[in-house]
Structure 1
């Protein structure tokens, strides 16, 4: 799995096509793993923020981040995948709902190493050009991998 995540950064279509037989229960695991890694990546920045502004303690910050990342983001991810599948009907390229979930969830997991790096930069350096750069790389990586996954799984009607 780790090698596939890394390979997604240079050959995302091939990786996502190879995962197209993944059952829904495994897709849920992929999504939750992506959310867990994202939460871990937020911890250094939250610790830095709690150190600089002790009015909100670290445990409260982590609880809020956990609520948003572990409980709310999966719901939004399922909604976004469903919306992507529905919107694909307006194009000649149809995307099956399961394939829409695979493309989105895998992009979230594949971009997680970059989000971990951005979290380390947020915790160690704080707001800076380096943080902006790492967050930009993570965001662009996510969108490129997601788009490549959609392109690999969509079928022409």
Structure 2
């Protein structure tokens, strides 16, 4: 199935999508590509907010973009790997059968699948600014992210059993 269809299906049946990704085999390059794709989408979603900030503060946009690029394409992947490892250890403590790859794939796919909502968050932040609209869209993103991530962790645990 195509990447876009998998993203759309993740909002209805995230476990099915994660199951299909797990059935393709444990390929770290595929998981890393999913993570980096999500990081690029998050980076692009930050552009309107950074442009707004540069305009309002009368500063240069390029240093803001450079800092965001470094944070989102170099630091965020490291943090994502750490968070996936911590979630794997937490599930092991709960005596859930879980592989580290399954925990990574569930987190990385949740980041990638919620990319369209995060693009909307960036647009609202860039064009409207802080306020109720940004809070509402942020909550929608968080709920969707947690829904897809937890569902993916459950499916990864079932696949490992």
Q: Normalized against structure 2, the TM-score is what? A: 0.92
The answer as to 2:107 corresponding to 1:104 is yes
Q: Structure 2: how far apart are the matches of 1:127 and 1:84?
A: 31
In structure 1, the partner of 2:149 is 146
Unaligned runs of 5+ in 2: none
The answer as to 2:8 corresponding to 1:19 is no
Of 7, 12, 31, which aligns to 2:35?
31
Partner SS state of residue 10, structure 1: coil
The structure with more helix, counted as a fraction of residues: 2
Partner SS state of residue 94, structure 1: coil
In structure 1, the partner of 2:55 is 51
Unaligned runs of 5+ in 1: none
Partner SS state of residue 85, structure 1: helix
CA RMSD of aligned residues (A): 1.3
Residue 105 of structure 1 and its aligned partner are, at CA, apart by: 0.2
Q: Across the two proteins, how many residue pairs are aligned to each other? A: 156
Residue 128 of structure 1 and its aligned partner are, at CA, apart by: 2.0
In structure 2, the partner of 1:70 is 73
Residue 102 of structure 1 and its aligned partner are, at CA, apart by: 0.4
Q: Is the 8 A contact 1:16 1:152 kept in 2?
A: yes
- Structure 1 residue runs of 4+, over 4 Å off? none
Residue 108 of structure 1 and its aligned partner are, at CA, apart by: 0.3
